Structure 1
């Protein structure tokens, strides 16, 4: 089976814990509406785990975006100093037009 590890609640701050609770409530409500009965303890654990996974995924995505924003833009090399593997968008028509005398 595809069992995911339970994420510890200690990894979340207060706002994220609130988001976990809200995600859990949404999942439990969907289950109640779909089946018409209350979730048992096994389903509650499953919903809690799923809610933590969702919030952790959002947290990691925000961290990744923040890290990308902080990266310095790479200095663009002169075309003459590029290696063959670095040239991706070579324009032959511009090259030929530039080379005309």
Structure 2
């Protein structure tokens, strides 16, 4: 199986205005590397307990992949708040950049 790039090119890195496209690409990269479950964040107590036992190298890889694919300012802002936790980094980006919908 071929090796897939972990880093998006400049225009595809998270810049804020491209969040939805970026999220789709990042989902794909993280799924291919079998790391998406580390950022999903929809887990019950049993899964959360298992999550604490996850190989720290996998958590670090997921965290670094997300950081690599954000522009420098965004990576710096959210990585400091996430404390090397890929799920917190993912949720921080999602909360800040997910477009807010207006209900009728």
TM-score (norm 2): 0.30
TM-score (norm 1): 0.31
**Greater share of residues in helix:** 1
